Amino acid sequence: MKKNVAISVQDVGIRFNLNHERVDNLKEFVIKFLRKDLKFNEFWALKDINFEIKKGERLGVLGLNGSGKSTLLKVVSGVLKPSAGHIETSGVIAPLLELGAGFSPEYTGRENIYLYGSVLGYSKEFLDEKFDEIVDFSGLGEFIEVPIKNYSSGMKARLGFSVATVVEPDILILDEVLSVGDKKFRQKSENKVMSMFDKGVTVLFVSHSLEQVKRLCDRAIILDSGRLVAEGPVDKIARVYKNMTE
Ligand SMILES: Nc1ncnc2c1ncn2[C@@H]1O[C@H](COP(=O)(O)OP(=O)(O)OP(=O)(O)O)[C@@H](O)[C@H]1O
């Protein structure tokens, strides 16, 4: 990969096997599996995707529901392995996907900071040092000692955002996360992301808000049924997308 490139996506495809027929229980599944009687429909959620993001660039991903945007972010983050092609990235990645989904409901916010933090690869020492900063940013106050199952979805997302952004990443992967929490938190999280922009972070960003993509990104791509159909400067691509969807 060239030195000035942060993310390189080459001929990437993601295939899901969709169940063709109904299987009601595990026994039936095992019997059908052993008899090689299970039929799947192959479904390519992404196909032949090629693009590069240079260091410091901010790429927006546009597309209708089901076009493959979240799948693309997951495969670049390493959550999903490509079924075809390959991906190269350089530096520390902070994936802000499905915030709060990684939490264990029975444990408190405090315990989940350590659990989720370790999933993201942070050491205990790092989390000890950053603990107050995380709680402060989340604005959860005393709720940090309460089990997560008693949190609202906005509270969970706020804690997820605060843990995931406590590092200084080289690459930031954002899936609709700037729409979480209440207005005050949305502003605060956008400011935090903006301050990372100032430090030259590379961004891959999905949002249904065309305005937000225009405001935050310098380039964009459009996905349509798993194919990359347009790529270029954000203003031009936003116009193409508007025409496609109106
Ligand atoms: N784990 C999975 N198993 C099977 N199919 C999946 C899986 N995950 C996603 N898909 C399918 O892949 C396609 C792309 O989904 P994806 O979530 O990436 O779309 P999206 O563009 O992010 O949509 P949205 O705008 O609704 O968030 C959809 O048809 C979806 O049903």
Tell which of 139, 167, 195 closes a domain: 167
Q: Answer yes or no: do 63 and 184 share one domain.
A: yes
Ligand 1 pocket member 202 (CB < 6 A)? no
- Is 84 in the same domain as 43? yes
- pLDDT-derived band at 21, boundaries 50, 70, 90: low
Between residues 33 and 150, the one the model is more confident about: 150
pTM over 0.90: no
Angle between helices 153-164 and 183-198 (to 10 degrees): 10
Residues 88, 107 within the same domain: no
Question: How would residue 51 be classed by pLDDT, with cut points 50, 70 and 90?
Answer: very high
**Is the C-beta atom of 233 inside 6 A of ligand 1?**
no
Give yes or no for a contact between 226 and 47, defined as CB atoms under 8 angstroms apart: yes
45 Cβ below 6 A of ligand 1: yes
Which residues constitute the domain of residue 48? 1-92+169-246
* Per-residue pLDDT, 37: 72
Question: 101 C-alpha vs ligand 1 centroid, how far in Å?
Answer: 17
d(CA 246, CA 244): 6
DSSP assignment letter at 225: T
Quick check: 20 pLDDT over 70?
no
Question: Which among 227, 210, 224 has a CA at the least distance from the CA of 60?
Answer: 210
- Check if 66 has its Cβ closer than 6 Å to any atom of ligand 1: yes
Does residue 149 sit in the same domain as residue 176?
Answer: no
Q: How high is the pLDDT of residue 33? A: 77
Q: What is d(CA 49, CA 69) in angstroms, rounded to the nearest whole number? A: 12
Nearest to 230 by CA among 242, 44, 35, 70: 242
DSSP 8-state code for residue 108: B
Between 15 and 186, the more confident residue is: 15
Model pLDDT, residue 131: 97
Residue 94: helix, strand or coil by DSSP? strand
In this structure, the answer to whether residues 180 and 241 fall within a common structural domain is yes
Ligand 1: does its nearest atom lie under 6 Å from the Cβ of 69?
yes
Q: What is the mean pLDDT of residues 168-186?
A: 83
Q: For 100-114, how does the pLDDT look when each residue is reduced to its tens digit (9 = 90+)?
A: 777 899 999 999 999
Question: Does residue 242 sit in the same domain as residue 196?
Answer: yes
Q: Within this chain, do residues 67 and 144 fall inside the same structural domain, yes or no?
A: no
Instruction: Assess whether 56 and 176 both reside in one domain.
Output: yes
Same domain for 82 and 175? yes
Query: Which pLDDT value is given to residue 40?
Result: 67
Average pLDDT over residues 219-227: 97
| Residue 199 belongs to domain with CATH number | 3.40.50.300
Whether residues 159 and 200 fall in one domain: no
How many domains is the chain partitioned into structurally?
A: 2
Do 19 and 132 have their domain in common? no
Question: Of 167, 189, 217, which marks where a domain is finished?
Answer: 167
Q: Determine the average pLDDT of the residues in 126-153.
A: 95
Q: Which atom of ligand 1 is nearest to the CA of 226?
A: 14
Average pLDDT over residues 71-97: 91
Per-residue pLDDT, 127? 96
Tens of pLDDT, residues 158-171: 899 899 889 888 99
Return the exposure string of 166-191: e unless at least 16 CB atoms fall within 10 Å of the residue's CB, then b.
bbebbbbbbbbbbebbeeebeebbbe
**C-beta separation of 133 from 157 below 8 A:** no
Report CA(65)–ligand 1 centroid distance (Å).
8
19 lines ligand 1 (CB under 6 A): no
Q: Which of 66, 13, 22 is nearest to 42 (CA)?
A: 13
